[in-house]
Amino acid sequence: MSQTILETAPLECPECAARLAITPTLAGEVLDCRGCGAELEVVSLTPLLVQLAPHAEEDWGE
Amino acid sequence: MTHIGMVYSRGRVEEKMLQEAAQRQGVQFTAVQDDTLILDLDPGALPFDAVLERSVSTTRGLYVLKFCGAHGIPAINRHAVAAACADKTETSLKLRRAGVPTPRTKVAFEQESALAALDQLGYPAVIKPTTGSWARMVARVDSRREAEQILEHRSELPNPVQQVYYLQEYVNKLGAAGEPTLHRDLRAFVVGDETIAAIWRNSPHWITNTARGGKASVCPVTPELHDLCQRAAAAVGGGVLALDLMETSAGLVCHEINHTMEFRNSVAPTGVDIPGKIIEYCVRQAKA
């Protein structure tokens, strides 16, 4: 998982640098980059920051 | 006004739908990421009339629910319910004790005893972790030789819980008429004393989870299905639950119950406002 948090204007995918047009309402929101399909996670709403979403842990589930 | 707190890990489609449902219903709703939580022996960290636990981490969720229980905060679901669902062994024991049809299951701790148990069950059989979700590390084995390979790999995993071998008969599921190549099982959604919806999950693979590509289609909630779902839900303590069932020539069997259900793929085919029903239930459970 990338540890680099990019804050750019406009926001870019940390994987492929595609522009992200997002209006998240929850920290932790998960979204897919339309440029490369990478799963991203919103780590902060203010300021708006995204990073590559972590891989599922062993105890994740329903 | 009732104040619902949702403890969550990741803002998946489900968490957003729950947030939107609360807004539609005019319910005061606060989403708290479990990353940021500081739980305390004294009350105060969760200043809500009810807590909806939606941690994607089963471990974190169970700890949050321990605190809710200790501090008298109604939780959806209660810790005892979540704990019963989080461990397939405990779920199976409770289903069997309640007389709910469930597949034949054995548990062993060593490779040799697991192989002996599988010999008793017969092949094909299924080896599962007793904890875990999304069908991770679930393996169908058609022979003793295949079982030896799976158990050998499992025995090297560092987590000792992975050496709790949960072994189950392979159930020949009845498929949809005219679709002999598709495997089909059934997921039913229980909210309190209602079975609000059910879907069939169809897949060319014997693992039918929608998280693994199974396609959902609506399944009618018959009186028989409702009755079985209510008995199964009651066996683990009730609440907001997603039940996994299989149709067999002898009737329905329940093999798993999920306490933090995913429902994104079930709202459209069923036409049921599942997140709305969950929020309504939370409000009913909230402290007066």
> Which B residues in the span 235-274 are in contact with A, Cβ-Cβ below 8 Å?
242, 258-262
Is position A60 within any domain? no
Give residue A14's domain range: 1-55
Domains and CATH numbers, chain B: 3-84+280-285 (3.40.50.20), 105-169 (3.30.1490.20), 173-271 (3.30.470.20)
R_g (Cα) of chain A, nearest Å: 11
The CA distance from B66 to A41, in Å, is 28
Task: Please answer yes or no on whether A25 and B10 come within 8 Å at the CB atom.
Answer: no
Name chain B contacts of A40, Cβ cutoff 8 Å: none
Q: Is the pLDDT of residue B175 over 80?
A: no
The three-class DSSP label of residue A17 is coil
pLDDT, tens digit (0-9, with 9 covering 90-100), for B218-268: 999 999 999 999 999 999 999 999 999 999 999 999 999 999 999 999 999
With respect to residue A51, please indicate whether it lies within any of the assigned structural domains: yes
Where are the alpha helices (H) located in chain B, listed in sequence order?
13-25, 58-70, 79-86, 88-97, 111-121, 144-155, 223-236, 267-270, 274-285
Res A4: pLDDT: 42
What pLDDT sits at residue B155?
94
Residue B37 C-alpha from the chain's centroid: 24
Residue A61 maps to a domain: no
Using pLDDT thresholds of 50, 70 and 90, give the confidence band for residue B77: very high
Specify if A22 maps to a domain.
yes
pLDDT at A5 over 60: no
B242 chain-A contacts, CB cut-off 8 A: 62
Question: CATH code at A3?
Answer: 2.20.28.160
Measure A54 CA to nearest chain B CA, in Å. Answer: 10
**Cβ–Cβ < 8 Å for B231, B100:** yes
The pairing of strands A30-32 and B105-108 is unpaired
CB contact under 8 A, B56 and A58: no
Q: First and final CA of chain B: distance in angstroms? A: 10
pLDDT above 70 covers a percentage of chain A that reads 84
Query: Which of B30, B54, B57 has the highest number of chain A CBs within 10 A, making it the mutation to test binding with A?
Result: B57
Tell if the CB–CB gap between A58 and B159 is shorter than 8 Å: yes
Identify whether A30 is part of a domain: yes
Q: Is residue A3 part of a domain?
A: yes
Task: Give the C-alpha separation, B118 to B133, whole Å.
Answer: 22
The token pair that represents A28 in the structure block: 């932790």
Would an 8 Å CB–CB cutoff place A22 in contact with chain B?
Answer: no
Considering only CB atoms, which chain A residues are within 8 Å of B260? 61-62
Query: Do B10 and A62 make contact, defined as CB atoms within 8 angstroms?
Result: no
Residue B282, chain A, CB below 8 Å: the answer is: no
How high is the ipTM of this complex?
A: 0.84
Quote the DSSP letter at residue A49: E
With cut-offs at 50, 70 and 90, classify the pLDDT of residue B117: very high
The count of structural domains within chain A is: 1
Report helix, strand or coil for B269.
Answer: helix
Flag whether A13 is in a domain. Answer: yes
Sign of CA dihedral B235, B171, B265, B269: negative
